[in-house]
Structure 1
Amino acid sequence: MRLEAGAIREMHWHSVAEWAYMLSGYVRVSTVTPDGQVYLADVGPGDLWYFPPGFPHSIQAKNTTEEGAEFLLIFDSGSFSEDSTFLLTDWLAHVPKEVIAKNFQVDASAFDRIPSHELYIFPSNPPPSDVASDMVVPNDTPVPYTFPLSQVNGTKTGGGTYKVADSRTFTAATTICAAEVTVEVGGMRELHWHPTEPEWTYFISGKARISVYASSSNARTSDFQAGDIAYVPPSFGHYIENTGNTTLKFLEIFKSGLFQDISLSQWLALTPPELVKAHLHVDDATIDKFSRVKQEIVGPAQPASTAA
């Protein structure tokens, strides 16, 4: 979704959880919990927010950049439809004005100008630059509903970096988690699989190739570029290779509170060597090079050794 500077995504809520990743620009988000606790914060590029099912929330683009803001929205139901969003104006357009007045204990004339249909996205003045000055009351939720992933140092590997945001770090996000991955030229996300949850991959920049193994001698290889989406079912073995000449960046997103993967290299390295040799017909020197810790991202292939 993209909002021009100052534009508002109408106040609304969903019957499912909403998770978001900021692609560019800055927005101000807010929510109120069923206990009447409030949370309001600014979110910038590479940062996240999460709203549980039924939590009403707002999203407004700041004027930090002329282009406004763009963000990726994820919902924890594959059958979710934006048409099923509960919108403030759409609801009140279907409530008698006398009932609205009774609810708020004000004169009915106060609502003479409420919209007769949904606003969805509409222009407005940008919020004040200081988030504290925009608060009706100070934030008092037990956990934050935004997460500054951009400020987390990625774990460096031989072929890139990765950082994980799940319920162990972003405690509010109990049903959706993600890894932000960068792969340098010639590198790849190592051969692996995810035990119980499908992977939904969104490519932010660069070019990639994914090969998926689906058991029963079935496999498929596909190419991707920025803006593309991949889907890998649970337990399907796969890799993601950088096939371009720039750094590849993507998100691995899961309907789970915890990020989990199984590394092929680690599995084989921690299995009795005789078993591995019986399967793959490799020697001890080769097995000794298998990594006993997850590599996550590996660099370009090692050059073949030459005889003296």
Structure 2
Amino acid sequence: MKLSLVTSLLMSTCLAVPIHERNQQALKPFDKNSPYTRKHHDPYDHKVDSVGQDLEPLPWRNGDGATMLGPRNREREKQNPDMVRPPSTDSGNLPNMRWSFADSHIRIEEGGWTRQTTVRELGTSRELAGVNMRLDHGVIRELHWHKQAEWAYVLEGEVRITALDTEGGSFIDDLKKGDLWYFPPGHPHSLTGLAPNGTEFLLVFDDGNFDEESTFLLSDWLAHTPKSVLGENFNLDPEVFDALDPADKYIFQGSLPGSIDEEKPRGRGVKKSKLQFTHKMLDQEPLNTTGGQVRITDSTNFPISKTVAAAHLNIQPGAIREMHWHPNADEWSYFISGRARVTIFAATGIARTFDFQAGDVGIVPKNMGHFIENLSDDEPVEVLEIFKADQFQDFSLFQWLGETPKQMVVDHLFSQDKKAASQFLREIESAEKDPIKAVLTDDELDNIHFEM
């Protein structure tokens, strides 16, 4: 009995040891210079590239916070450092504005695949929906049409498109990386992978409720039409249609196409469309800014694109897409490369910061102020800003303040500090818009302060 009592007491003592202490000791040690420690203080909320610097984000901010003891997804935390440790300026509640195509279900077909980001995946994606599609060499996205307009950007490879307009004019074109196409609602079309490795592209539809699974397919329609009617429509014996391929081919391996001249129809009544369904976005002359390049494509230079406008941005390392907002449509962003953070200001003291990398989609609702800051010191950010609108429109905070009476600006922002007011007014004196700004280094800022 005594031995049993001693054993029981020893076991109780072991069980009483705080488990969290053992977990704390097992945590990865951090460099004292890491921004994710209790002692690190940053009252200005500078950016941190946790991926590029291989840092493990922790919820420490200016002495507040604690380590993490429970289950974790460290890779996701590293991709979202401003979720783990938000800037001190974040405040209030804002719906989720970020989705990664990596989290979207992939439909796998013969020689290709597709995945989508719609309002079902991202609840704030109400105005636009996106589809990422891959077609190998000679693989066809079946002849089809849909209720929504389709805008597309070629991400890699080459693709052939065919379309028919409402006057019976046919259109065929071959596109490469950086080219666009646009099909108005109801216009029938097809897509075929061309390059040795086929193609991959981003499709954008002017309705967040769009569903890639609910398009009007040629094979599906014929399969659900009486063969007697098919015979009457095409002046053939109904028995001919006993040989129809199965319905819903959707994505399938087709014959390798020849040149456009070899493939274009030549029958009686065939005519060429007067419409231009394609546009070479990356061949446009860019707007060169201090921190990158901008190309804008909307109905002013791509007339058929009546419901979708877009900007292609190249944000260099150490640069920022300036603080701005869009008055006419929500922004639907697709990140092609690089890493960035975006803070969205929703008025009434509400702001939230999101992090993005290649393959991510971001939403910024109409009129909400925001910026796009490149997190990396050596890699540019390439991003598409896409809008359900016929024209691209934005307001620059810098330009607005530069074109506002100086005393009005001072009374709003620096009424109690003449030196700060003088510095600020000097910087906005030239109100010239600079959509992507090169950010000054600490040495450059010191020189400015010294000159003043």
TM-score, length-normalised on structure 2?
A: 0.66
Larger radius of gyration: 2
Q: What is the aligned counterpart of 2:388 among 234, 247, 255?
A: 255
Q: What residue number does 1:70 align with? A: 200
Q: What is the aligned counterpart of 2:406 among 273, 277, 287?
A: 273
Q: Deviations over 1:177-209 (max 9, x none)?
A: 100000000101000000121000000000010
Shift of 1:141: 2.4
SS in 2 for 1:304: helix
Q: What is the root-mean-square deviation of aligned Cα atoms in Å?
A: 1.4
**Contact 2:328 2:389 survives alignment (8 Å):** no
Alignment of 1:175 onto 2:307: yes
Q: Distance in 2 between matches of 1:297 and 1:86?
A: 41
Q: What residue number does 2:424 align with? A: 286
Alignment of 1:301 onto 2:440: yes
Q: What residue number does 1:155 align with? A: 287
Q: What residue number does 2:331 align with? A: 199
Amino acid at match of 2:384: L
SS in 1 for 2:431: coil
Q: Distance in 2 between matches of 1:87 and 1:231?
A: 30
Amino acid at match of 2:168: G
Q: Give the strand-richer structure, 1 or 2.
A: 1
Q: What is the aligned counterpart of 2:255 among 104, 109, 125?
A: 125
Q: Distance in 2 between matches of 1:34 and 1:273?
A: 55
Q: Distance in 2 between matches of 1:263 and 1:226?
A: 26
Q: What residue number does 1:264 align with? A: 397
Shift of 1:73: 0.6
**Contact 2:165 2:275 survives alignment (8 Å):** no
Q: What residue number does 1:25 align with? A: 157
**Contact 1:215 1:236 survives alignment (8 Å):** yes
Shift of 1:126: 2.0
Q: What residue number does 2:361 align with? A: 229
Q: What is the aligned counterpart of 1:187 among 301, 305, 319?
A: 319
Q: Distance in 1 between matches of 2:289 and 2:398?
A: 14
**Contact 1:40 1:139 survives alignment (8 Å):** no
Amino acid at match of 1:283: A
**Contact 1:12 1:88 survives alignment (8 Å):** yes
The more displaced of 210-219 and 297-306 is: 297-306
Q: What residue number does 1:40 align with? A: 172
Amino acid at match of 2:410: K
Amino acid at match of 1:297: I
Alignment of 1:78-97 (within 5 A): 78-97=208-227
Q: Deviations over 1:26-64 (max 9, x none)?
A: 1110111121111111111000000000000010111x2
Amino acid at match of 2:407: E
Q: Distance in 1 between matches of 2:437 and 2:342?
A: 15
Percent identity over the alignment is 42
**Contact 2:284 2:295 survives alignment (8 Å):** yes
Q: Distance in 2 between matches of 1:116 and 1:127?
A: 22
Q: What residue number does 1:134 align with? A: 263
Shift of 1:84: 1.9
SS in 2 for 1:278: helix
Count of residue correspondences? 305
Shift of 1:222: 1.1
**Contact 1:158 1:298 survives alignment (8 Å):** yes
**Contact 2:334 2:361 survives alignment (8 Å):** yes
Q: Distance in 1 between matches of 2:153 and 2:388?
A: 15
Q: What residue number does 1:115 align with? A: 245
